[in-house]
Amino acid sequence: MALRLVSDFDLGKDVLPWLRAQRAALVAAGAGGGGPGVLENNYESLRVLNVERNGNIIYTYKDDKGNVFFGLYDYQTKQNEHLYTFEKDLQVVSCSVNRERTLLATSLVQAAKEGRRNELQPGSRCLTLLVEIHPINNVKVLKAVDSYIWVQFLYPHVESHPLPENHLLLISEEKYIEQLHIQVTREDGNRVVIKNSGHLPRERVAEDFVWAQWDMSEQRLYYIDLKKSRSVLKCIQFYADEHFSLMFEAPLDVSLSDSGFKLVNFGYDDLQDQEKLSKHPTLCVFTNHTGSLCVCYCPNFDSWEQITYSVLYFHKGHSKTFTATLGHVDSRVTKGITFLSLDYYVAVYLPGHFFHLLNIQHPDLICHSLFLTGNSEVIDMLPHSPLQSLSGPLVLDWCSGKLYRALLNQSYLLEFLWNTRLDCEKLALLQCVLSCGRDPRRLEAKIIQWISENISACHSFDLIQEFIIASSYWSIYPETSNMDKLLPYSSLLTWDTEIPGITLVTEEIPLPLMKVHSFKGYWEKLNSNLEYVKYSKPHLHYNNSVVRREWHSLISEEKKGKRRSTVYVRNILDNAIKVISNLEARNLEPRLTPLFQEEDNHQRLLMGLMVSELKDHLLRHLQGVEKKKIEQMVLDYVSKLLDLICQILEASWRKHNLHPWVLHLNRRASAAEFAVFHIMTRILEATNSLFLPLPPGFHTLHTILGVHCLPLHNLLHYIDNGVLLLTEAAVTRLMKDLDNTEKNEKVKFSIIVRLPPLTGQKICRLWDHPVSSNIISRNHVKRLLQNYNKQPRSSMMDKSSFSVEFLPLNYFIEILTDIESSNPALYAFEGHDNVDAKFVEEAALKHTTMLLGL
Mean per-residue pLDDT, 277-304: 84
Q: Give the pLDDT of residue 227.
A: 77
Query: 607 falls in which pLDDT band (50, 70, 90)?
Result: very high
**Band of pLDDT at residue 149, cut at 50, 70 and 90:** very high
Residue 346 has pLDDT above 90, yes or no: yes
**What average pLDDT score do residues 540-553 get?**
91
Task: Summarize pLDDT for 614-648 with one digit per residue, the tens.
Answer: 999 999 988 888 999 999 999 999 999 999 999 99
Higher per-residue confidence, 203 vs 28: 203
pLDDT at 450: 94
Percent of the chain with pLDDT over 90: 45
Who wins on pLDDT, 185 or 152? Answer: 152
Q: Which of 503, 508, 499, 475 is nearest to 489 (CA)?
A: 475
Strand-strand pairing, 262-264 and 209-215: parallel
Whole-number pLDDT of residue 578: 95
The predicted-structure confidence for 702-720, as pLDDT tens digits, reads as follows 999 998 889 999 999 999 9
pLDDT band for position 38 (cuts 50, 70, 90): very low
- Average confidence (pLDDT) over 483-506: 91
Give the whole-angstrom CA distance, residue 181 versus residue 202.
6
* 535 — pLDDT class (breaks 50, 70, 90): confident
- From CA 505, how far away is CA 387, in angstroms rounded? 27
How many other β-carbons are positioned within 10 Å of the β-carbon of residue 38? Answer: 17
- Please give the pLDDT value at position 385: 74
Output the average pLDDT for the chain. 83
Confidence (pLDDT) at 248: 95
State residue 829's pLDDT score.
Answer: 47
> Stretch 538-545: mean pLDDT, rounded?
85
Share of the chain above pLDDT 70, in %: 79
Residues 215-250: pLDDT tens digits? 999 999 999 988 777 889 999 999 877 789 999 999
766: pLDDT strictly greater than 70: no
Per-residue pLDDT, 350 = 85
Cis ω for the linkage preceding 756 (within 30 of 0): no
Helix, strand, coil proportions of the chain in percent (round to 5)? 40, 25, 35
Read off the pLDDT band of 107 (50, 70, 90): very high
According to DSSP, residue 267 is labeled S
Reported as a single tens digit per residue, the pLDDT across 381-411 is 677 777 888 888 899 988 888 999 999 989 8
Pick the closest to residue 349 from 282, 398, 290, 294 (CA basis). 282
Q: What is the pLDDT of residue 131?
A: 93
The mean per-residue pLDDT over the stretch 546-570 comes to 85
Q: Give mean pLDDT, residues 600-616.
A: 94
Q: Is the pLDDT of residue 806 over 80?
A: no
Cα within 13 Å of Cα(821), Cβ side: 7
CB 472, CB 604: distance < 8 Å: no
Quote the CA–CA distance of 854 and 852 in Å, as a whole number: 5
Q: What are phi and psi of 662, to 5 degrees?
A: -60, -20
Angle ∠(337,340,344) on CA atoms, nearest 5: 135
Structure confidence by residue, pLDDT tens digits, 811-824: 566 666 766 666 66
| Range of weakest confidence among 154-163, 315-324, 381-390 | 154-163
Whether residue 51 is predicted with pLDDT greater than 60 in this model: the reply is yes
Asked whether residue 746 carries a pLDDT value surpassing 70, the answer given is yes
How large is the greatest C-alpha to C-alpha distance in the chain, in angstroms?
145
- pLDDT of 359 reads 96
pLDDT at residue 14 greater than cutoff 70: yes
- Distance, in Å, from the CA atom of 748 to the CA atom of 736, rounded to the nearest integer, reads 10
Question: What pLDDT sits at residue 192?
Answer: 77
Average pLDDT of span 191-202: 82
- Which range (62-66, 284-288, 405-409) has the least confidence? 62-66
Which carries the bigger pLDDT value, residue 283 or residue 197?
283
606-623: b (≥16 Cβ within 10 Å) or e: bbbbbbbbbbebbeeebe
Mean pLDDT of 182-187: 83
CB environment 51-86: b (16+ within 10 A), e (fewer): bbbebbbbbbbbbeebbbbbbbbebeeeebeebbeb
Answer yes or no: is pLDDT of 108 > 70. yes
